[in-house]
Chains A and B, each alone.
Chain A
Amino acid sequence: MKTLIKLANLKKVFSTDEVETHALSDINLEIKQGEYLSIAGPSGCGKSTLLSILGLLDTSSEGCYTLNGHDVVDINAKQRAAIRNKEIGFVFQSFNLISELTVAENVALPLTYRKDLSKTERTELVTAALEKVDMGHRTKHYPSQLSGGQQQRVAVARAIAGNPSIILADEPTGNLDSKNAELVMALLDKLHAEGATICMVTHDPRGAKRAERIIEIFDGRIVSDSPTSETHIEEAVA
């Protein structure tokens, strides 16, 4: 399989006047196209920081980051925005839907930042994405009119609408009850089965189990990187 993401000797240091915190140290990681991996570790270990750097929402302090064969460390903010828009789909724990926009408008939002799509193409992509998450009947609703599970499904639709190279999910079931969490996880399974590359940070052992590879982080370092079948999930996500 083709390597989609490659991190080499990546570091992230947060500095204040008096304190220097090493959030990530010597991170070396490869993600292949079509992989489904989860990142686990205790609170504050750096997994969300890693996901932010992977999603170009934050920059590393040192090291190399290659996405789809391109170096993305030394690119400007505009290029980073363009890559986020085309290559990456985000699913957040708190859904992060914009309350003033309808479901369809929320899903269309990343597509509106693309200059190469016509309105018709955008509508088609939105409809397809919403159908995929079984939310095609709620296009004109506002987020406040949906349940948490429905909101997260809309967020998933927004993440996949532009056919990104990878979906980055940060605790996607963290704000959901078990029934809705199961529905969202099933949705991610389905997307993976259809060929999507997914990288997920989760505390939910059952969710983590669904990935095919688990990376454990502790104190900013990768302490384990192995297929799910070889990992004691409960310990890894504790």
Chain B
Amino acid sequence: MNILSDINFAFRTLIKNPKFTALTIFVMTTGLTLCIYMFSFIHGSLVAPLPFENGERIRAVDTIYNGMQYQGTSFRVHDFEDIKKRVQSYEVFDAYDQGTVNLSTTDRAVKYTGHYVKESFFEISEAKPQLGRLLTNDDGLSGAEPVTLISHTLWQNMFAGDKDILGKKLRINTEPTTIVGVMPDSYQFPSAGRIWLPYTTTAKGIARKDGDYVAVYGVLKPGISDEQANAELRSLMAELEESYPKLNSNTSAHVWTLQSAAMGSGTPTIILAMELAVGFILLLACINVGNLLFSRAIEKGKETAIRTALGAPRSRLIMQMMWESTLICTISGVLAVLFAGLWLEVANKDLLSSFPFDPPFWWNIQITQSSIIAAIVITLVTALITGILPALKATSGDFNATLRDGTRGAQSKASGRLSKMIVISEVVLSCALLLLSTGMVYSVNQQNNIDYGTTIEDIFTARVGLPEAEYKSDEKRLQYYQNLKATLLAEPEISAVSLTRTIPGNGASYQNILLEGVDYGKKPQYPSSSSVGVDHNYFSVMTINLREGRLFDSRDKIGSPLTAVVTDKFVNKFFKDGVALGKRFKFIETDNDWYTVIGVVNDVIHGQPMSFNIEKPTAFISIQQTPKRFMSVVIKTVASDAQNVPNLAKIVADSIQKVERDAPAYDIKTLRNSIIGRNAGMNFVSELFLVFAAASMVLAFSGIYGVMSNTIIQKTQEIGIRRALGADNSDIYKYFIKQGLKQLVIGLAIGVPMGVALVTMLEESSIAQGSLMLYFSVPAFISFIILLAVYYPVSRALKMEPCEALRHE
């Protein structure tokens, strides 16, 4: 009965004060929405369990090269086979391959990513075909009939769901292949695959340096931790490094969950930063609401005193106040779940449309049962935090004194100290949070506006992959590329065409190199460089500037001595005397012959524009000397803006198809869009941090203003006293600004180092970037808030005549 009456009382109190109620609900909803959103996002993406019996023990095994974590097909098949023989920590330790597959029927050709797999691949992912059968290890044996499994999507799109599909043939990389099964739509292990083929990759009969790369996965034995598995793997990789110093120098490996692998090595740091940011925001919201409730409790001091005088036990008074915070937090919690749900829906659409790849199959970014449970727990905890402290504090005063003189006297000094602590906490949290958020946003903004060292805006790109069987010789490939360029140039919309192995912004092959004349000792630590094959006119089409020497020309052809054009960073890093022309180097893993440096050009960024990529040296090599099967076409249009040329994508696709039916073009887009797609993940995170920054600004402003304003209102009488004693307006302003500055300085003294430490932590992963401008402007912004928070309430108080201020209660 008491409880119902207390809830009813709390409810009436909230209705009676609509402004107060709206403000507290707004603040709490902001904090809880961000918190529930983040929980659902992280839970739905990174820590979502794999939907398999042994899902929690399935791991990706990837390489670490020069300290950088790689994922996917990063293991040399020789290394994998050597390790498989000796590794002990796994129930299953196996590999699959992944590659671009050109798939053609009688009337069309398309490109897909194909997975070359073994039986174990299907076993651990509990695969069941929708039609036909799965692949077996026998399908991969030499001489076996070429067979494939296709996805539900491919079955529907390419074969209109033909029920008699089994046994029909497809041309896969020009080879007729029999369809033996169709996988259900839900099967996307380990990523959204479209086509599965038997695993045939082997180390047998292939020189180690020519070995293919495979993706390795495993199922840990029960009871084996990641640390144990990692320790074993590191030890085995160290042995391989010792056995093959040229190929395995600076190479190790590590074990991680599929979820972590899919998100990339920087993700745990980003997630930590997000959790910290959201934690700070929730804490700010709790402090704000707690302070508002406390201020109200102080205002109602007389009512509380009367209740005490009438015999109300303290516990009852505390419970009454607690119900108020519980109601506020519950309403906020419900609103937060709704808002977070809507936001997740928008974010999901945004992610799906902006990401250049399909999301992992385990992604379930929405409000789930776990989100609801988390929301309830977070709401109850926030209700407790925001309610209990104000209630305890407000019921611990001298009620007799309150009743006797009707002043706040007994509590004013204690509440003054509390207010100061609250302002300091708000300054600390908002400063750290703003530095973290703006550091992140600043970094992404810098990345988006970085100079890649080439032109970006008016370039159109497409990727082509030649069928291996048909294009085995360098001459044939070169002939194809000549035909391709001629066909494209025949289109009136196109003014220039060139070719490259890797377009700017995309990751380039990063290999150990050997500089001629340098002794690397018995335990060599070779330097590394990006290697990018380009056509001879690439530099002029992409506006890359020659610094010295010459660019590729007709002298650099098949059979002539290998040549390279290197970047400024290559020179600065490897040639201390600054003289590069005529010097020689070789890529240890892939080349027997030396490359002679013939020219130096400006730096070009390959990969995401993060510091470790920006710092990489690059050696451009001539595709006329080493033509590869996979190449990117770069196209300049007659019109200055490639984006606005109508049907350009179709023109390019059709032209490429004309040259070789079994080599369809894919990834057809402007270079700018390609870069935007690559940076989509970081942009998404940056947008999140922008929301965090905005929320922290709103909460910091409302919180600091609320506390300062309340403190100054409570000191209206003191203002009257000071004015009676001769203080003029400027004296009063100075006094309160000085008070505010003390709290500001203490807050900034803690908040700035905390924020800088967080930014520095993220800087190491190239996720955030600090700058003097940020380190100055964030404290300046908070100082501005403090000044505003002092100025307006003091101005209001000064509008009263001193005698009126003296009578103020």
Interface residues of A (CB under 8 A from B): 49, 52, 55, 57-59, 77-78, 81-82, 84-86, 90, 92, 96, 98-100, 109-110, 113-114, 144, 158, 162
Contact = CB atoms under 8 A, between A and B. Distances in A.
A59 B801 contact: yes
Nearest to B724: A90
Interface in B715-751: 717-718, 720-731
Interface residues of B, number: 23
A109 B727 CA distance: 9
B718 A98 contact: yes
B806 A85 contact: no
Contacts of B717: 96
B352 interface: no
B340 to A, nearest CB: 44
A64 B731 CA distance: 28
Nearest to A159: B725
B727 A113 contact: yes
A85 B726 contact: yes
Contacts of A84: 723-726, 802
Nearest to B727: A113
Contacts of B523: none
B153 interface: no
A81 B723 contact: yes
Given A82-B726, A85-B725, A85-B726, 8 more contacts: A58-B803, A78-B728, A81-B729, A84-B724, A86-B726, A100-B416, A109-B725, A110-B725
Contact of B725 (A77, A78, A158): A158
A96 B726 contact: no
Contact of A78 (B721, B729, B803): B729
A58 B805 CA distance: 11
A92 B806 contact: yes
Interface string B321-334: 00000000000000
Contacts of A57: 720, 723-724, 801-803, 806
B447 interface: no
B412 interface: yes
A217 B721 CA distance: 26
Task: Please name the 5 residue pairs, one residue from A and one from B, whose CB atoms are nearest each other, closest first.
Answer: A85-B726, A81-B728, A52-B803, A57-B803, A110-B725
A26 B47 CA distance: 83
A81 to B, nearest CB: 4
Contact of A82 (B409, B724, B728): B728
A58 B802 contact: yes
A1 B204 CA distance: 123
A85 B718 CA distance: 16
B235 to A, nearest CB: 66
A158 B731 CA distance: 18
A221 B718 CA distance: 31
B19 interface: no
A99 B728 contact: no
A57 B802 CA distance: 5
B729 A109 contact: no
Contacts of A99: 409, 412-413
A81 B721 contact: no
B289 to A, nearest CB: 27
Nearest to A48: B803
A8 B593 CA distance: 111
A162 B727 CA distance: 13
B797 to A, nearest CB: 13
A58 B723 contact: no
A181 B718 CA distance: 24
A58 B725 contact: no
B423 to A, nearest CB: 16
B801 A113 contact: no
Contact of A113 (B409, B725, B804): B725
Contacts of A144: 413
Interface string B787-809: 00000000000000111101000
Interface string B377-417: 00000000000000000000000000000000100110010
Contacts of B413: 99-100, 144
Contacts of B804: 58
A96 B721 contact: yes
B72 to A, nearest CB: 65
Contacts of A58: 801-804
Nearest to A83: B726
Contacts of A96: 717, 721, 724, 806
A24 to B, nearest CB: 13
Contacts of B801: 52, 57-59
B404 to A, nearest CB: 11
B263 to A, nearest CB: 53
Contacts of A109: 722, 725
A93 to B, nearest CB: 10
Contacts of A49: 803
6 contacts: A49-B803, A85-B725, A90-B724, A90-B725, A96-B717, A114-B726
Contacts of B802: 52, 57-58, 84
A78 B717 CA distance: 19
Contacts of A77: 728-729
Interface string B689-729: 00000000000000000000000000001101111111111
Contacts of B729: 77-78, 81
A57 to B, nearest CB: 4
